[in-house]
Amino acid sequence: MYQETNRILFSFTEFSSVEVGKHLYWKISNYDIHGQVFIVSWLVIFVLLAIAFIGTRNLKRVPSQLQNFMEFILEFLQDIAKNQIGEHEYRSWVPYISTIFLFILGCNWAGALIPWKLIILPEGELAAPTNDINTTVALALLTSIAYFYAGLSKNGLGYFARYIEPTPVLLPINILEDFTKPLSLSFRLFGNVLADELVVSVFTLLVPILIPLPVMILGLFASSIQALIFSTLSAAYIGEAMEGHGDH
């Protein structure tokens, strides 16, 4: 039994060390930092912060075009949270849902719009951070932490009563559901972004002038949809967790 356990652990370690393509790593203490993801992620964060600062630094009663655009984005993100969480409790979750949506949208568009392949790195190449499974898993785990926090802060320990509803027989299934939520969120986003970038790369190699452009436009639309799906599902999970177990 001991040898079998060691064999399984060794096999899992080998599987987890498999990589697709080459990556740029920075060694910090005992940790390897994924350089490509780190660089593009911080570029996206910087751009989002710059747009937020420029768009809100001089607010007027009669809004300019930029202020109108910022207000439209805010109303759109508020509607996502309100529709999924509820009118009375959505406001405190607007910052989280908005941050998730804007960061994923920025990362997806960064991969679809910017020709990162022109920038030569010692190893690997720059791309959308969301085409790396580590990024999407981290975002999904943040959502898991958020909906557990929402449920416990609203219902206390009574939150765990949802695992035995409508019957205790469903306890294993309800527990399993909490593991499948982050898995589905992360793999859906990762798979769609990676597939889009692969399709554009293949078409660029085969027909380098005309065909890639409409595919890239379609990729921008798909990237936006993926950001919307992720943020909407995150808000829905938070809203579900905040429901009292007697409200079903």
Tokens for 174, please give them.
Answer: 């309800």
Q: Is residue 119 part of a domain?
A: yes
Confidence of residue 62 (pLDDT cuts 50, 70, 90): confident
Domain that residue 76 falls in: 32-242
Mean pLDDT of 71-88: 89
How many distinct structural domains can be found in the chain? 1
Percent of the chain predicted with pLDDT > 70: 76
| pLDDT 10s digits, 142-188 | 999 998 898 888 878 777 777 777 777 777 887 888 788 888 888 88
| pLDDT 10s digits, 11-56 | 434 434 445 556 666 677 777 777 778 888 889 999 999 998 888 8
Rounded Cα gap, residues 138 and 130, in angstroms: 10
Q: Is residue 131 part of a domain?
A: yes
Q: Is residue 150 part of a domain?
A: yes
User: Using alpha carbons only, what angle is made at residue 144 by residues 143 and 145, rounded to the nearest 5 degrees?
Assistant: 90
Q: Is residue 198 part of a domain?
A: yes
Whole-structure pTM value: 0.80
